[in-house]
Amino acid sequence: MASRCLVRGSINVDEFFQGKGFDDIVSPGQTISSTNLVRRPGGKGANQAAAIARAGGLVDLVSAVGHDGTWVRDELTASGVNTESVAVVQVHLVSFSASDLVSNSRRKAPDARSSKCRRAENSIILFKGANDSTLPSHTIHPDTTHLVLQNEIPLKDTLDYLSIASARNIASVFNPSPMPSAEELLHFPWNDLTWLVVNNGEMREICVALGLAIPPALPSAAVDCARVLLHLLAKHTPKTKIVCTSAVMGCSQDWARKTGLRARRQATRIKSRYDGCGDCFTGYLVAGLMDLSVDKRMTTSRSSGERHRPRECVWKSRVQWRASLWPLTLMLV
C-alpha cells in the first residue's frame, strides 16, 4: 500500500516588487520605484505539498484561501496535490489605513509582499488572511502515514493535528517557521513529534526558549555550530528525530538514539538562491520518508528513478534539486 501524506498548512499569494535599481532593501521613510510586480503561489503548506507531489508522493492539503486566491488552489491541483480539503472562506478586513506599508489594495487571500534587491535579499510583509481561519474538523484518510505541519496557521490547529497523529501512529514532521513564541515552544508537546526540520537560526532559538545551556563560545563554522546545538536539543527531545539545514554546508541530523547513526552530508554546487528552497527540501525529505515507510530506497540509478528523483523546485523555479544518496546528500544546480 502506498504511503499517503496530509499537509495542514498555509497558502499564500506571493507578490514580488522587482526593479533594476534595487541595490538595497527599502529603508524607513524611503520611496523607491519598481519596474515589475510578479505574483506567484506560495505559503509553506502549499510549497511543501507541491514538493511532495512532484517527488511522486500522494499528498492531501488541508488549508484555506479567500475568493481571490482560488487560482492558487488550481495550480496546486495541477501539481498533483489533492485540494479537496482546501476551503474558500470569506475574510473580513476590519479597517484599512497607512499600516499597510506596501500598497492600498484590499487583500482577502493570504498575502506575502516582498521587495528583492540585487544581492538576492528580501523584505517581507505577511498578511495571514484565510490562513488564520479555523476550519471544520477534517477526516484524515485512513491510509495516511505522514503529517506535515508548519507555523503559518493557528497553533491550536497544529497541536490538534499533532495529537491526532500521535494517537494514530502517524509520523509527524514539523517545520517551525515562523518561529513560535518562547512560551509556545516551552509548552510544545515534543514527545508527540516524530521529525523536526529546522535551520541553524531556528534551532538556536528553540534551544534558548527551552532554557538549554548553550556554550558561551560557539564554533564559528555553521556546521560545527549546528552540531553543538543539535546535540543539546536532541538530549531534550529524545523521541524526536532532528534534521538541521545549513544552506551551502548541507544538513546535519541526529537520530542515533534509535539507529546508532549520526551523519552530515554536504551540499555542493550552489549556483543561486531562490525563494521556497527550504520548503522544497522539506517536501522532498518527506517524500523520501514516505518511500522508506514502504521499504523502498531512494537512488538515482534505478529504472523507475524518475518518480523518485527531485525534478524542479517548487512552483517551476529556476533551481533544480538533485538527490544522489538518500537521505541527506543535496545538490542545487
What's the rounded mean pLDDT across residues 223-249? 79
| pLDDT for the residue numbered 276 | 72
User: Which is more confidently placed, 267 or 232?
Assistant: 232
CA nearest to 132, candidates 197, 167, 87, 170 = 87
Which region among 40-44, 48-52, 166-170, 325-329 has the lowest average model confidence (pLDDT)? 325-329
For the chain, the structural domain boundaries read 4-332
Element (H, E) at 157: helix 155-167
| pLDDT for the residue numbered 29 | 81
For residue 85, count other CB atoms closer than 10 A to its CB.
19
What's the rounded mean pLDDT across residues 21-26? 63
CA distance 282 to 310: 12
| pLDDT for the residue numbered 315 | 47
| pLDDT for the residue numbered 223 | 64
pTM across the whole model: 0.78
| pLDDT for the residue numbered 53 | 94
**Contact criterion met (CB below 8 Å) for 51 and 279:** yes
| pLDDT for the residue numbered 254 | 59
| pLDDT for the residue numbered 326 | 32
CA distance 11 to 127: 11
DSSP code string of 216-260: SS--SSHHHHHHHHHHHHHHH-TT-EEEEE-GGG-EEEE-HHHH-
CA distance 245 to 99: 35
User: Which is more confidently placed, 299 or 265?
Assistant: 265
| pLDDT for the residue numbered 179 | 93
Report whether pLDDT(262) > 80.
no
Superfamily of domain 4-332: Ribokinase (3.40.1190.20)
User: Which is more confidently placed, 227 or 280?
Assistant: 280
CA distance 215 to 143: 44
**Contact criterion met (CB below 8 Å) for 37 and 17:** yes
Which residue in the block uniquely carries the three cell numbers 475574510?
A: 91
Each residue's pLDDT tens digit, 88-118? 998 765 544 333 333 333 334 455 544 455 5
